[in-house]
Amino acid sequence: MELYITNVPYWVSISFAILFASIPPLLIANAAKAAYDQGNIPGGQDIKRKIIYFYAAFFFLVGLISLTGFFAENLLPPRIIVTTAIPLFLFYLFIVQRMGWFKISFEHIRLEQLIQIHLFRFVGIYFFLTYMYDAIPYTFAFIGGAGDILTAALAIPLLYFMKRQVSYATTLVWIWNIIGLADILSVLSSAIITTRQAIENSEAGVQGFGTFPFSWIPAFAPATIIFLHILIFKKLLKR
């Protein structure tokens, strides 16, 4: 059986798989545990472990399906968005938010800890790497890669200003959060536009992100990033 693996050198795929499957889940899990610790509530380590197990199962399932080529077709709406990203987002909104552990975490988590999770968006460099090896089109790579890298880079001075408790830090968080949300929405729009053009012109489009291991990006990132931005907005409104 043919295995659908992203058409890039092995070092690109392997480094991406190791970094992407470990860093984002760990950042999320550590933030949840830190919230428990800050509230002096027992059970934080157990919550951290369960979050890591959940994402390990999610990545394993998405990776297994992507190897079959199920996601590697030019369809509108993209099959991977319909079958993974949207269900994950709805899971966050309507199931996770109602869980007791999440309510505890959200109550005690600090705004800067939610922002720190977005540092995983330096993964945007892999948009450019996949473009370099002709796995995705330039426009899509530039919009996805540059926007994510910029959002992650801007988070660093933002966290510094928050730590220093400068008077305009909250305003900067509002601006940064809007920029970050606009970025991920622009990536989704670009993927749809690129796919439509690829269908019309019988081109490859963004099919490279439907193969293993880069299928993890559309399956995980849009839903998780948008949800995190929503949580930041909620924290800001509480202030």
Query: What is the C-alpha separation between 204 and 228, in angstroms, rounded?
Result: 31
| Closest to 179 in 3D by CA, of 112, 225, 122 | 225
- Phi and psi at 223, nearest 5°, equal -65, -45
pLDDT value at residue 133: 95
pTM of the model: 0.96
Q: How confident is the model at residue 74 (pLDDT cuts 50, 70, 90)?
A: confident
| The pair of three-digit structure tokens given for residue 200, joined into one six-digit string | 């019309």
Other residues' Cβ atoms within 10 Å of the Cβ of residue 37: 13
For the cut 90, the answer to whether the pLDDT of residue 204 exceeds it is: no
In the chain, which ranges are continuous DSSP H helix?
10-38, 44-67, 79-80, 86-94, 100-108, 111-117, 125-132, 138-163, 169-201, 216-238
Cβ contact 54:91 at 8 Å:
no
